[in-house]
Structure 1
Amino acid sequence: MSTSTPIRLGTRRSALAQAQSGQVADALSAVLGHPVELVPITSEGDTNRASLSQIGGQGVFATRLREALLAGECDFLVHSLKDLPTAQPEGLVIAATPRREDPRDVVITRGGTPLHELHTGATVGTGAPRRIAQVHRRAPHAEVVDIRGNVDSRLARVASGELDAVILAAAGLSRLGADTPLHREELGLGEWPTAPGQGALAVETTTDAPDWLLAGLAQLDDLPTRIAVTIEREILAGLDAGCQAPMAAHAEVTGDEVRVRAVVYQPEGDRRIGIDVTEALNGEYIRRNGSGNGADAADDADPMPTAVRIGRSAAHRLLELGAADLLPRE
């Protein structure tokens, strides 16, 4: 491939999608010495303004992009990992999971009142069933308003007084470089775990992509992130629940161990079922290989099978505790 021929990166048209895709494009260009151009693609989730809980979260942002990739309209894709269905389509592969951004949620308010202290009837904007269930627990006297829209429009609804608060992903604010005079409350993962894959990106290409492209993408991979999100997505898959299920899962790799927190929430009510466990990983493999080796992790000591086992075990434990009774089926 000529060094002057751009590599085509398929991305959604939103400002956030293009910001995070631009970061990946710059990183890959630095690795391979090729220019990378963004190819904007409109997904169903961008055109259908209905609530995500109504149209279903499974693939509404990813399907059209994947069709474009398989049709040869682009060479690879960048997704927000939390928006991807857990089933991997035939012919496609997640070639890299770059280092994860802050996975927490944040509450944005005008005056800095903590979420749990909002007055009775205060309006909190969010469209995610998981966040809705968490708001009901943290601020039971508040009113949840189902909203869609980009980050700027959500911030504007708080600034104007239309809403008292909105809940956003810290990673999205960081990637956009959003600067606002509004107040920000970070929600700790211990009491407010977030969606599987939140804060992480998935770099996807075809299984028959050129070796040089696969090798270049592999250098963007971060092994601890890949381990963590694999566990989280295995929990989601094991529960047989979609991306919009009222559940949270967060895994954090520290040295040779991984801590896993997962919670399933009753959509309307106070019930929740959760686990908090710490499991051992193959620390020698992690120390030897570090980050940036996703495509080369074919080793007897590869920690990924262990990550899959941990995720499936966590899902099984949740189901034993009765999680299936709280989850809608897609």
Structure 2
Amino acid sequence: MSTPALRLGTRRSRLALTQSQWVADAITAATGVPVELVHIVTEGDVSTAAIAQLGGTGVFVTAIRQALHDGRVDLAVHSYKDLPTAPEPGLVLAAVPVREDPRDALVARDGLTLGELPPGSTVGTGAPRRVAQIRALGLGLDVVPIRGNVDTRMARVVPGDLDAVVLARAGLARLGRTDAITETLDPLQVLPAPAQGALAVECREDDARTRELLAPLEHAGTRACVVAERSTLAALEAGCSAPVAAYAEVADGEDGPELYLRASVTALDGSDAVRGSVTGPLGEAAALGRALAAELLDRGAAELMAAPQIPEHALSQGPGSRSTR
């Protein structure tokens, strides 16, 4: 009797399909169980509105999670940063595979880096976090919001209407498009989004078979980093469309591996920011994130997140910061 295939729910975008197929292949390689992809259309796929206007959090995952609840699929693969920070009743993140490079990447005309783009150059990005941080660099760039998949965004550079776009390096790597990158942005300049580059593999909490089959995909270091980053985001009570950045790394400490977590909240016009960092044991990832969020809130993060949106055509303003940590 043949082993029944697992049904994996996925969006239809090229990146989502690539990520889902990678997970499917990893499951089959580790367990011998076949996996079939089931295409699901989400709210984020059919709307042309900006993600922030849609409410940001959850627009790419709600329909897929409903398919899990209904039993139409056995598991789902999400870009971890797209998930709401609150847990979904009845579902569990059964595996967090090893993370891709979480940094942001620039794709610019003529092979230019961010610092080489002339003042007034138009840079496209879909993330308020990137908008805020690029404006805070004080380079005089015109940062504009864009939507669309990776190929659509990149096509707006050459021979398109933009001088550059900023994308997640992880997505370009998974699509085999790193040759288009003109600069991988240093986190000291542009700190990544919480959970950027990480995947979340989700299934029903009571589905013991699927949970067991997903166990070999788990990467403990990646989960600890992402838990710390997302705990910061949750404690700030900010969604994925807020100008919040958080990035954790596993480093060698005196007593073994430890987490080094950095986070920032930046005003959308780039005029002000609060930044901080904390270090501690991997097993205290969530507590580290909450502690760092509390520090940022004490230094004015809530006011920066509550600031009104500035006009989309506005240019970046000069850099400003309450902390240089």
What TM-score do you get using the length of structure 1 for normalisation? Answer: 0.89
SS of match in other structure, 1:29: helix
Which residue number in structure 2 is paired with residue 285 of structure 1? none
Name the aligned partner's letter for residue 142 of structure 2.
E
1:233 aligns with 2:230: yes
Which residue number in structure 2 is paired with residue 53 of structure 1? 52
Conserved? CA contact 2:277–2:292, under 8 Å: no
1:247 aligns with 2:244: yes
Provide the rounded CA distance (Å) in 2 between the counterparts of 1:193 and 1:78. Answer: 24
Provide the rounded CA distance (Å) in 2 between the counterparts of 1:224 and 1:3. Answer: 35
RMSD: 1.4
Shift of 1:268: 2.1
1:193 aligns with 2:191: yes
Higher mean C-alpha displacement, 105-114 vs 230-239: 105-114
Distance 1:140 1:218, change over 3 A: same
- Per-residue CA deviations over 1:73-107 (Å, capped at 9, x if unaligned) read 10000000000010011101000000000000011
1:272 aligns with 2:273: yes
Provide the rounded CA distance (Å) in 2 between the counterparts of 1:194 and 1:266. Answer: 16
Provide the rounded CA distance (Å) in 1 between the counterparts of 2:210 and 2:67. Answer: 18
Conserved? CA contact 2:51–2:241, under 8 Å: yes
Distance 1:109 1:167, change over 3 A: same
Shift of 1:39: 0.4
Provide the rounded CA distance (Å) in 2 between the counterparts of 1:328 and 1:38. Answer: 40
Distance 1:270 1:72, change over 3 A: same
Distance 1:219 1:86, change over 3 A: same
Conserved? CA contact 1:105–1:194, under 8 Å: yes
- Per-residue CA deviations over 1:123-178 (Å, capped at 9, x if unaligned) read 10112100100121225411122111111111111111411000011100011112
Provide the rounded CA distance (Å) in 1 between the counterparts of 2:107 and 2:138. Answer: 14
SS of match in other structure, 1:42: coil
Distance 1:117 1:139, change over 3 A: farther
Shift of 1:188: 1.1
Conserved? CA contact 1:115–1:138, under 8 Å: no
Provide the rounded CA distance (Å) in 1 between the counterparts of 2:304 and 2:275. Answer: 12
Task: Note the 1:161-310 alignment, pairs <5 A.
Answer: 161-178=160-177, 180=179, 182-209=180-207, 211-255=208-252, 256-281=257-282, 303=283, 306-310=284-288
Provide the rounded CA distance (Å) in 2 between the counterparts of 1:278 and 1:24. Answer: 31
Q: What is the aligned length?
A: 303
Name the aligned partner's letter for residue 198 of structure 1.
Q
Distance 1:3 1:313, change over 3 A: farther
Which residue number in structure 1 is paired with residue 311 of structure 2? none
Shift of 1:192: 1.5
- Per-residue CA deviations over 1:258-314 (Å, capped at 9, x if unaligned) read 111100001124100000222234xxxxxxxxxxxxxxxxxxxxx2xx111111111
Which residue number in structure 2 is paired with residue 36 of structure 1? 35
Shift of 1:118: 1.6
Which residue number in structure 1 is paired with residue 24 of structure 2? 25
Provide the rounded CA distance (Å) in 2 between the counterparts of 1:29 and 1:17. Answer: 18
Name the aligned partner's letter for residue 206 of structure 1.
R
Provide the rounded CA distance (Å) in 1 between the counterparts of 2:155 and 2:149. Answer: 10
Structure 2 gaps, min length 5 = 308-325
Conserved? CA contact 1:250–1:262, under 8 Å: yes
Which residue number in structure 2 is paired with residue 83 of structure 1? 82
Distance 1:264 1:213, change over 3 A: same
Which residue number in structure 2 is paired with residue 297 of structure 1? none
Shift of 1:257: 1.3
Shift of 1:223: 0.1
Shift of 1:183: 4.8
Name the aligned partner's letter for residue 212 of structure 1.
R
Provide the rounded CA distance (Å) in 2 between the counterparts of 1:126 and 1:230. Answer: 25
Identity %: 50
